[in-house]
Amino acid sequence: MPRLPPSLFHTAAQIHPLAPRLLPVCRSLASVRSELRWIAQHVLQSQSSHLVPPRLRLWQLVDLRATGLPLQYVLGSQPFGSLDIKCRKGVLIPRPETESWTLYLASLLSSSSSPSQGLRVLDLCTGTGCIPLLLSSSLSARNTPLSSVTGVDISPRAISLAQENLAHNLRLGTLLPSTGSKIQFLQHDVFSPDFVSTLGKEEVDVLVSNPPYISHRGFATDTARSVRNYEPKLALVPSPEKQALSSTEHPEDVFYARILHLAQQLESPNKVVLEVASLEQATRVVDMVHSSPELLREYKTIEIWRDEPAYGGGVIPHRIEGINITVSVRGEGNGRAVYLSRD
């Protein structure tokens, strides 16, 4: 990281006496200004439940943020679409990229014809529960019928936080009570051999997942410091025993292989969306689909979505070198998700 000039600290001190403390973690004045404002807003909004006077609490929270703890953990929440998602140490913070593709998927689902008994949605590695909650909220806002929404995670912490988020958003009114009763969260290992039978379901219509996708090496070199130090490695990097199951030279892709296998067992859901790290990883996942004749037969549409699938004017064909496949890439930004659809 480049060194910050001392004059920047001087300028920051004129904005607010606490601003220089945030500068090392925020790295820019604009960001410092926004974060200070958000922390101050949070202090004022949540004042009634605290005994410490506001100025002291601002000080405390800024101190906490200055240690490098992510702002979402300091404030305990992150806006996600129209929802407010609670965040706590030990569970991955929802990312804006995930928000973008989730909202785009919701718009696709509500514009295409859906089964009359309602959609069945399954989210694997759900974490805070942000994806199934946002899908439910935006689908019910567009009058698309839902039959059941299930989130699965291996971590008991994540499941209890997801339950809390469901209750929290029902209380805020961002989720309708009629929708809330259809959502459930289960603690289960995606890799366990009896996964499908314990799920108690034979079919789903929409399968989504934001699984751990960073390699050991990538975790050490590419991740931001606040991610490395404070967010759960379990949600970022597939654990060594799972990586051992992989037969390819990219063991971080092991979750995709498993989820695509599950997709076949679940009678090929209508739509599958898997979040990935980059265009390279996306092409590897597309290659996995192409190497399975059953999947290739079922899924007519295979796309790679970038960070903003709704923008940039439609799809651009992208040729993958080496394996001679052409795949459509949609949107703007980094490669972010692989989308499979039966129609």
The residues of the shown chain that bind another protein, judged by CB under 8 A, are 11, 14-15, 26, 29-31, 34-35, 38, 70-72, 78-82, 92-93, 95-99, 103, 210, 212-214, 218, 222-224, 226-227, 231, 235-236, 275-278, 307-308, 310-314, 332-334, 336
Minimal distance, residue 140 CB to another protein, in Å: 16
Give 205 or 303: the residue with its C-beta nearer to another protein. 303
Give 276 or 295: the residue with its C-beta nearer to another protein. 276
Minimal distance, residue 175 CB to another protein, in Å: 15
Give 34 or 301: the residue with its C-beta nearer to another protein. 34
Minimal distance, residue 185 CB to another protein, in Å: 20
Within 13 Å, how many C-alpha atoms sit on residue 188's CB side?
20
CA distances for 92 relative to 11, 43, 95, 125, 277, angstroms: 34, 23, 9, 10, 15
Give 123 or 231: the residue with its C-beta nearer to another protein. 231
Distance from C-alpha of 228 to C-alpha of 269, rounded to nearest angstrom? 34
Distance from C-alpha of 301 to C-alpha of 230, rounded to nearest angstrom? 38
Minimal distance, residue 223 CB to another protein, in Å: 5
Tokens of 73: 């953990």
Give 5 or 313: the residue with its C-beta nearer to another protein. 313
Minimal distance, residue 323 CB to another protein, in Å: 23
CA distances for 332 relative to 20, 61, 83, 238, 307, angstroms: 35, 35, 24, 27, 6
Give 203 or 280: the residue with its C-beta nearer to another protein. 280
Identify which of 318, 323, 324 has the alpha carbon closest to the alpha carbon of residue 303: 318
302: CB partners within 8 A, 6+ apart: 286, 289, 327, 328, 338, 339, 340
Burial class (CB in 10 A: 0-12, 13-18, 19+), 252: buried
Question: Phi and psi for 307 in degrees, rounded to 5?
Answer: -55, -40
Minimal distance, residue 341 CB to another protein, in Å: 20
Q: Could you give the 3-state DSSP secondary structure of residue 197? A: helix
